[in-house]
Amino acid sequence: DAKTTQPPSMDCAEGRAANLPCNHSTISGNEYVYWYRQIHSQGPQYIIHGLKNNETNEMASLIITEDRKSSTLILPHATLRDTAVYYCIVRVRTSGSRLTFGEGTQLTVNP
Amino acid sequence: SQTIHQWPATLVQPVGSPLSLECTVEGTSNPNLYWYRQAAGRGLQLLFYSVGIGQISSEVPQNLSASRPQDRQFILSSKKLLLSDSGFYLCAWSVPGYSYNSPLHFGNGTRLTVT
């Protein structure tokens, strides 16, 4: 499986943009980058995913470098409710279309 | 729209007792279904997945089993619980087939404590 590397923790001020980095240097050409978050004691919540192009939805933006070896999840205006563990996942083409979660980044949004 | 239900939300069971956790999905047909477990302070570990009725794939050898008796029902079971079975159990679904361009959607989980 393509391995991802994320910082274990980050802090962000409320109202500011949160930029969460992810390295995936062994990603293959047809593998998607997915982002999920998990708020304490809840199930993981899907945020966004992409293949090559940058993507944006109502929750966040995903910026993927041209060589696809890294990506950044951007929460444009972080709120206290965005405090969570954020997982960057490379979805490899294996049976069952499953996702393999790593350790993620604990994002703490401070007032 | 599609929804996923898991129950119970919390469960306390003695060592050696049986276990049955149920997950159902509404609003879609023939979904892929998944069981994950998260031990305290740890990441999510895939336990089982199913691409159709009666089709179960196991990711890790353990004290647990899974069944899919109906299209949108996924059950996690154990005959005799161990202390190490404690954790947060999550069910998830995705669109059928090998679609890598659609996400998994998770339920709210069951927190199991084995005493």
Cα A105 to the chain's mean position, in Å? Answer: 9
Decide if A62 contacts A54 (C-beta within 8 A). Answer: yes
Q: Does B1 touch chain A (CB under 8 A)?
A: no
Tell me the percentage of chain B whose pLDDT exceeds 70: 98
Decide if B36 contacts B44 (C-beta within 8 A). Answer: yes
- Residue A107's DSSP bridge partners are A10, A84
* Cα-only R_g, chain A: 13
Which residue do the tokens 């192009």 mark? A53
Minimal CA separation from B80 to chain A, in Å: 25
Per-residue pLDDT, A95: 65
Q: Least CB-CB distance to A96: which of B43, B57, B108?
A: B57
Chain A residues inside the 8 Å CB shell of B92: 43
Per-residue pLDDT, A48: 97
Q: How far apart are CA B24 and CA B33, in angstroms?
A: 9
> A31 vs A78, which has greater pLDDT?
A78
CB contact under 8 A, B100 and A93: yes
- Residue B63 pLDDT exceeds 80: yes
Confidence tier at B41 by pLDDT (50, 70, 90): confident
pLDDT digits (tens, 9 = 90+) for A5-44: 999 999 999 999 999 999 999 998 888 999 999 998 899 9
The amino acid present at B91, given as its one-letter code, is C
Minimal CA separation from A76 to chain B, in Å: 22
Minimal CA separation from B53 to chain A, in Å: 14
